[in-house]
Amino acid sequence: MSEHRRPFVLAVAGVLLVSSTAASCGDEPTDVRLGEATRGTVAEIVEAPGSVTARAAATVSAPAAGTLDDLRVEPGRRVSKGQVLAVIDAPELEARRRSAERALDEASRGGGGFSSSSGFSSVRRKTDKQAADAFEQARAAAARIADPALREVLLKQVDAANQQYSAASSAAAAALRSVERGVASLGEAVSSLSAAQRLQAQQAYELADAAVEALTLRAPVAGVVQFGGTAGASPSSLGDLLSSGGAAPAAAGGGSGLPGVDTAVPRGAYVAAGTPLFTVVDVSRLGLLAEVDETDVLLVKPGVKATVELDAATGSAYAASVRSIDLLPTTSARGGVSYKVRLDLTPGEDAPSPRPGMSAVIRLQVREADDAVTVPASAIINVDGRDTVWAVRGDSYERVPVTLGVQGEDIVQVTGGLDAGQRIAVSGADEIQPGDRPS
């Protein structure tokens, strides 16, 4: 749960202590102290735990089984979006592309290979079977790709090609029916079927080529390369590193995992489909993810300023501002309800550069009152459900109900019932009884 702290004073709203007194009708000493309400600035702070987040991160996995043939980056290197990271050698996919290329060359040279309607039907059935096999192989290859974004693109390409071929095949069938009714020549039907054959061969080659092209691994985002995957990270792009769900292969790479040995997959190693090879982390804009308790979240608005302390950078201060507040809650480990608040982080002057995932304490300045009538929080007592202070009126104490505004940790704003300069009991107020007189 977040800790709601009643704000510290930015411009000290000092309360002048005028006496430390044994204020009562008797002689027993008390801890009552007198002071005055004064004017100052009060800030209300909501304190919450959080962590540093990267702008985005994407894990690049092997799209198919093969050998890591060409490794072009080293850990820690900055890369641009689309830059080639590595190339995987997958002989099976490359052989399928070569076969599709030969079939395309044959189809491009033309030749229906028939002279009757029965021959036409036989060739059409053969072409349909070739198309179905090509689509099935392409769909199976796409389904093995671990990156969901790339997988979806290739599957949509397969579906679109299937629809195009189905339309061409249907046109060839319609042409044959026209020949059989005597309203079209066999040559027209041959032309229609030849077009379907060429389309099938072209689509089979393009789908096989797309599968091979996917073996060239490119950076999905600009950022810094880290070998292997991120525990719990999705293979797709993440809006905030470590802040969103999604399961991924637990292994960070295909290495030996032996102590002292880099677990990243080395050049020339065999990789299975779905093996996470690289994670590219975009740290161009760092942020924060805070967990704010339900009792405080209604005070938090976009644009609210915050100060940040990192466990890893003791003594360094950072500034931040609220970007958004989640609508749906999360449940903390202790069973409380909290809401995720996302902030933009400003690098601190002469402060270390944070890393994604570092723990932070975030103090959100949710409200502020300038030139306000202020009293110490210790002066406020609750009587019958009303906030009250003991004010000095004449030669005795008088109980005065007050209305509070911005509430700090040590100082609170009084918006009604009390004026600046009024003498009040600033501590020991619970020891005062009606009729007591300050000494």
Helix, coil or strand: residue 93:
helix
Per-residue model confidence (pLDDT) at position 240: 38
Question: Using CA atoms, how far apart are residues 147 and 208, in angstroms rounded to an integer?
Answer: 18
| Cβ 212 vs Cβ 50: under 8 Å | no
DSSP state of 238: B
| Cβ 20 vs Cβ 33: under 8 Å | yes
Residue 432, Cβ neighbours under 10 Å: how many?
19
Number of helical (H) and strand (E) elements in the chain, helices listed first: 4, 24
Question: Using CA atoms, how far apart are residues 173 and 176, in angstroms rounded to an integer?
Answer: 5
Class of domain 3-42+368-431: mainly beta
| Cβ 179 vs Cβ 221: under 8 Å | no
In terms of C-beta distances under 8 Å and separation of at least 24 residues, what long-range contacts does 112-115 make, across chains too? 112/190, 112/193, 112/194, 112/197, 114/190, 115/186
In the structure encoding, which two tokens stand for residue 248, read together? Answer: 């991924």
| Cβ 23 vs Cβ 418: under 8 Å | no
pLDDT tens across the length of the chain (439 residues): 444 444 443 433 444 444 444 444 444 346 788 888 899 988 889 999 999 999 988 888 888 888 988 899 988 899 999 999 999 998 888 888 888 888 888 777 765 555 555 666 777 788 888 888 888 888 887 777 766 777 888 888 888 888 887 887 787 778 777 766 766 666 676 777 777 778 888 888 888 888 888 889 999 889 999 888 765 444 333 333 334 333 333 333 444 445 665 656 677 888 888 888 899 999 989 999 999 999 999 999 999 999 999 999 988 889 999 999 999 998 866 678 999 999 999 987 788 989 999 999 999 999 888 888 999 988 898 888 899 999 998 888 989 999 998 888 788 989 998 999 999 988 888 888 888 888 7
Helix, coil or strand: residue 277:
strand
| Cβ 293 vs Cβ 287: under 8 Å | no
> Which of 126, 128, 161, 125 lies closest to 142, judged by CA?
161
| Cβ 407 vs Cβ 6: under 8 Å | yes
Which residue shows structure tokens 């903390």? 332
Task: Give Dmax over CA atoms of the chain in angstroms.
Answer: 127
In the structure encoding, which two tokens stand for residue 89, read together? Answer: 């050698």
In the structure encoding, which two tokens stand for residue 121, read together? Answer: 């039907």
| Cβ 191 vs Cβ 80: under 8 Å | no
Distances (CA, A) of 350 to 279, 288, 421: 29, 19, 42
> Which of 253, 258, 159 lies closest to 207, judged by CA?
159
Whats the size of the chain, residue-wise? 439
In the structure encoding, which two tokens stand for residue 131, read together? Answer: 């198309």
Helix, coil or strand: residue 343:
strand
In the structure encoding, which two tokens stand for residue 346, read together? Answer: 């400003």
Query: Which residue type occupies 400?
Result: V
In the structure encoding, which two tokens stand for residue 124, read together? Answer: 């059409």
> Which of 281, 269, 340 lies closest to 60, judged by CA?
281
DSSP class per residue in 171-222 = HHHHHHHHHHTTSS-HHHHHHHHHHHHHHHHHHHHHHHHHHHHTTEEE-SSS
Question: Using CA atoms, how far apart are residues 245 and 263, in angstroms rounded to an integer?
Answer: 24
| Cβ 397 vs Cβ 436: under 8 Å | yes
Distances (CA, A) of 267 to 17, 242, 255, 275, 424: 74, 29, 11, 14, 77
Is this model's pTM higher than 0.75 or not?
no
Question: Using CA atoms, how far apart are residues 304 and 27, in angstroms rounded to an integer?
Answer: 51
* R_g of the chain, CA atoms, integer Å: 37
Residues forming CATH 2.40.420.20 domain(s) in the chain: 3-42+368-431
| Cβ 73 vs Cβ 79: under 8 Å | yes
Give all strands (DSSP E) within 95-193, no chain letters: none
Phi-psi region of 246 (alpha: psi -120 to 50; beta: other; left: phi over 0): left
205-243 b/e (C-beta count within 10 Å ≥ 16 → b): bbbbebbbebbebbbbbbbbbbbbbbeebbbbbbebbbb
Question: Using CA atoms, how far apart are residues 92 and 136, in angstroms rounded to an integer?
Answer: 15
